[in-house]
Amino acid sequence: MPISLISLLMFLGLAQQRPTWRDEVPRTWGPMNEGWRVGVFSEKQQYVEGEPTDVVIKARNETGARLEVSLIKSPWITASRMVVIRVSDNQVMHIKPPHDMFDRLRRHSSGASTFFVDPGGFAYCGTIDLQAIFELGVGEYSITVHYYLPNSPGAALVPSNPLMITVRPAEPPRLRKGT
């Protein structure tokens, strides 16, 4: 059965995905270092305990040159560059320990991407689910990333803007009448 041109165009139109919040540009950036700025942002500021708490890290090339950059794909290695502080007691939160030897290997075996970033362009550095990687509980947290851009002009450690998020307790399930 031949596919009509209209069917093909409809399929292509439906197959396109709308941009999500992860595709946005950070509204705030950290200070410039070696021609780069790093921004960290999230979809919202309040999360429920146990809910995915995704934050996105992006870097912006502020130089007038096209730069080659290598970015590690492992969210665990990227998370190791984050400073997550519980605001109430200034406690630095730690990354969850690996479950076993294979978990340790999996966390560090994801490779890297090397590509060019044009002047004014962005490099997507990763999405991190904070509650999956860090020992977070209920509370308010300050997150900063110190992102290492290895192929920048001076191989810079670039700090991000601070990001504040709150983790609320999960609401207990409500009982239905008659059960």
Q: What pLDDT is attached to residue 1?
A: 47
> pLDDT (tens digit, 9 = 90+) per residue, 40-60?
999 999 999 989 999 999 999
What does the alpha-carbon distance between residue 138 and residue 157 come to, in Å, rounded to a whole number?
30
Q: Token pair for residue 26?
A: 């950070």
Q: Answer yes or no: is pLDDT of 85 > 60.
A: yes
Write the CB contacts of 71 (distance below 8 Å, at least 6 apart in sequence): 112, 113, 114, 123, 124, 125, 126
Residue ranges of domains in the chain, CATH in brackets:
20-165 (2.60.40.2970)
Q: Are 147 and 34 in contact (CB under 8 A)?
A: no
What does the alpha-carbon distance between residue 74 and residue 111 come to, in Å, rounded to a whole number?
7
Furthest CA-CA distance within the chain: 69
* Overall average pLDDT of the 147-169 stretch: 83
pTM for the model stands at 0.81
